[in-house]
């Protein structure tokens, strides 16, 4: 399939569903990765699914997605030490 055809059809789907035409296929990829990380999927698995050779690449790009996990970890630590 020609990439232009795919993009054209993707934009038609966005328009038909009253979604922002600023969205791109790349934004779907980014959303997928962020949601996987937020659900606790390990970085190596997410990196593999995205085709990143190194998990560090995934960490560099999606570090913001770990904020929720950091808060959960802090709360668990607090409970473990009685805070």
Domain residue ranges in the chain: 3-80
| Mean of the per-residue pLDDT values of the chain | 87
pTM of the model: 0.63
CA angle 58, 64, 67 (to 5 degrees): 120
33 close to 46: Cβ distance less than 8 angstroms: yes
How much is the pLDDT for 64? 73
Listed residue (1, 61, 6) closest to 37, CA to CA:
61
Q: pLDDT band at residue 3, thresholds of 50, 70 and 90?
A: low
Mean pLDDT along residues 54-69: 82
Q: Distance between CA atoms of 43 and 36, rounded to whole angstroms?
A: 9
pLDDT over 70 percentage in the chain: 94
- Model confidence over 22-55: pLDDT tens digits? 998 888 888 899 889 888 899 999 999 999 999 9
């Amino acid at each position: 399939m020609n990439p232009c055809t795919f993009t054209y059809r993707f934009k038609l789907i966005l328009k038909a569903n009253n979604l922002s035409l600023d969205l791109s296929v790349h934004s779907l990829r980014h959303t997928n990765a962020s949601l996987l990380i937020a659900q606790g999927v390990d970085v190596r698995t997410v990196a593999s699914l995205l085709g990143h050779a190194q998990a560090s690449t995934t960490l560099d790009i999606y570090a913001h997605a770990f904020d929720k996990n950091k808060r959960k970890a802090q709360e668990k630590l607090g409970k473990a030490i009685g805070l």
